[in-house]
Structure 1
Amino acid sequence: MGKRIGLIAGNGQFPIIFTKAARKEGYEVIAVAHIGETEPSLENYVNEIEWIRVGQLGRLIKFFKKKNIKELVFVGGIKKKKLFSNIFPDLKALTLLARLRHKHDDAALRAVADELEREGFIVCPSTLFVPSLLAEEGCLTNRKPTKEEKKDIEFGWQMAKAIGKLDIGQCVVVKRQVVVAVEAVEGTDETIKRGGRLAKEGAVVVKVSKPNQDLRFDVPAVGKGTIETMMHVKAKVLAIEAKRTLIFDKERMVSLANEADISIVSLKKS
């Protein structure tokens, strides 16, 4: 039997990108996908796939054991709003949830990862085969932030790290050193829309990893869609964290930002 890896697939394009990269490295990809979240086309790229509902942890474990999978990766997210509907926890998941003091992202994901490791699996970083997707440090666009926008970035960075420490979200929208929107369960795009409407125009979007971010899952991600959302509300700057943020469709994203006169800066701060 050749090299194999188990893929726990969430939403978005990342599961397909990951699968292509893994297979290029000679791995078979055995996937568990989530109904209503994972792109159905993932079936065309993986070697085997099992479809489950969000919350069926026991079934996920049973499937991977049956397939003799040892290494697992979490790739792609689950919409947080699903926590209030369309979740079908089995006995394994219910037992796990009952032990959690808080149901925050990191706490829940770490608990699932710990449970998988107790079952004998190794949980690998989601960037395992795609380190090139991590943002390099520097300004990625023709336009550089203005002096005033740099102040907003610095302020927003501190605020984003603070909400991240509380495990609330990864993104804030700022204008003139005032926080106009904070990410919660709605996700980054909805946060940008809300903040942009309040700021009118010229908002600065800051998206960072949480302090002590577990890079095995929930790595901050941006892409062409992020810039399209910013264009819709006339936001002017996107600041992300170098080496701790995934960029999808980088070439198209940067090209679109240049057309819209938007700055993208990737920063490394202590």
Structure 2
Amino acid sequence: MKKNRSETGAACDGTPPAAGAGPLGLVAGGGQFPLLCARAARARGREVVAVAHRGETDPALADEVSRIEWVHLGQLGRLLRFLREAGAREVQFAGTITKKRIFRDVRPDLRALNLWNRIDRRLDDGILRAVADELAAEGIEVVPSTLYLEDLLAPAGVLTRRRPTREQWDDIRFGWNIAKEIGRLDIGQCLVVKDRAVLAVEAIEGTDETIRRGGRLAHGGAVVVKILKPGQDTRFDLPALGLRTVETMAEVKAAVLALEAGRALFFDRRAVVQRADRLGIVIVGLKGDEWT
């Protein structure tokens, strides 16, 4: 078990611990977000202890935290025991989990099986809320993944040089309203449309595959809408945009990405916008109260 940070919670530069003294737990999936969360918390004087998922989490996370525990997907009892023994009373969820793995690569322990059998609707938000309840029963509070990273939230407005055409604005509005209705059912966060026709709805396959599926049907010019589901627990699983999203759109010649300002994570913003400009892709951040 690697220890490479102060166990007292003091940052390397002497910054005093932030509000919420004690170690911050981090339940980490894939991608760069867990690393960013760990660095931001440390910069605010928090010690960070992490539960990392084999086959998902970047091994580099070990260098960003004081303690790390590697688990297989489904080892809920082990996750809870580690956080409890590490003294974490607050925990963040950050990073992606490949949802299709639940049918082929999950190793549930007894705690996870008991929880799974109590969940009636095995949809994203319902599962995460149930896990949060298990943590709460252990005296551990789930805090927002953006606790120290609010600057990662997408801004409002047209973010690229190219602006949507009138027809694309029509598709954005059409897709936005339908995506919100699909979101109420906790199915997915992403919708692909063209000429006010729905081409693809995100399910368990994830955003990239949804974009590919809808984009191929569109034969170019698709509009991708990614929203926060109504009633979604904003502590975890916020919609996210990064370079891979734009590259996937380029594969199928999709034209527009619309996301919810202030309620979606926007990674590597400058690089993404520059890449979108080179590809001729429009990115726009929308305020929800303007589109309901």
Question: Shorter-chain TM-score category?
Answer: over 0.9
Displacement after TM superposition at 1:36 (Å): 0.7
Residue aligned with 1:106, SS: helix
Q: Distance in 2 between matches of 1:260 and 1:169?
A: 26
Q: Which amino acid aligns with 1:28?
A: E
**Which residue number corresponds to residue 267 of structure 1?**
286
> 1:226 maps to what in 2?
245
List per-residue Cα deviations over 1:109-128 (Å, max 9, x = no partner).
00000110011101100111
Letter of the 2:31 counterpart: G
Alignment match, 2:54: 35
Quick one: which amino acid aligns to residue 257 of structure 1?
Answer: A
Q: What whole-Å deviation, never above 9, does each CA across 1:218-249 have from its counterpart, x for those lacking one?
A: 10001111111111111110000010000001
Count of paired positions: 270
For structure 1, list consecutive stretches of 5 or more residues without a partner in the other structure. none
What percent identity do the matched residue pairs reach?
56
**In structure 2, C-alpha distance between the alignment counterparts of 1:187 and 1:88, rounded to whole Å:** 21
Q: For the residues of structure 2 that align with 1:188 and 1:80, how far apart are their CA atoms?
A: 11
1:5 aligns with 2:5: no
Distance 1:260 1:59 in 2: 45
Q: In the TM superposition, what is the alpha-carbon distance from 1:74 to its structure 2 partner?
A: 0.6
Equivalent residue of 1:126, what SS?
coil
Aligned to 2:270: 251
Name the CA distance, whole Å, in 2 between partners of 1:43 and 1:67: 15
| TM-score using structure 2 length | 0.91
- Measured after TM superposition, the shift of residue 77 of structure 1 is 2.2
CA shift at 1:269, angstroms? 2.0
Structure 2 partner of 1:133 = 152
Letter in 1 for 2:192: V
Matches within 5 A, 1:1-270: 1-2=8-9, 3-270=22-289
SS at match of 1:135: coil
| Structure 2 residue runs without a partner (length 5+) | 1-7, 10-21
- Residue identity opposite 1:184 in structure 2: A
Tell me the distance in 2 between the aligned counterparts of 1:108 and 1:85. 18
**Cα deviations across residues 2-49 of structure 1 (Å, max 9, x unaligned)?**
342000001111001111111111111100000111111111211110
Q: Give me the CA root mean square deviation.
A: 0.8
C-alpha distance in 1 between matches for 2:111 and 2:205: 27
Counterparts of 2:121 and 2:153 in 1: how far apart (Å)?
30
Query: Structure 2 CA distance, aligned partners of 1:121 and 1:18?
Result: 18
Runs of 4+ aligned structure 1 residues displaced above 4 Å come to: none
Q: What is the one-letter code of the residue matched to 1:113? A: A
Counterpart residue type for residue 123 of structure 1? V
Distance in 2 of aligned mates of 1:46 and 1:185: 31
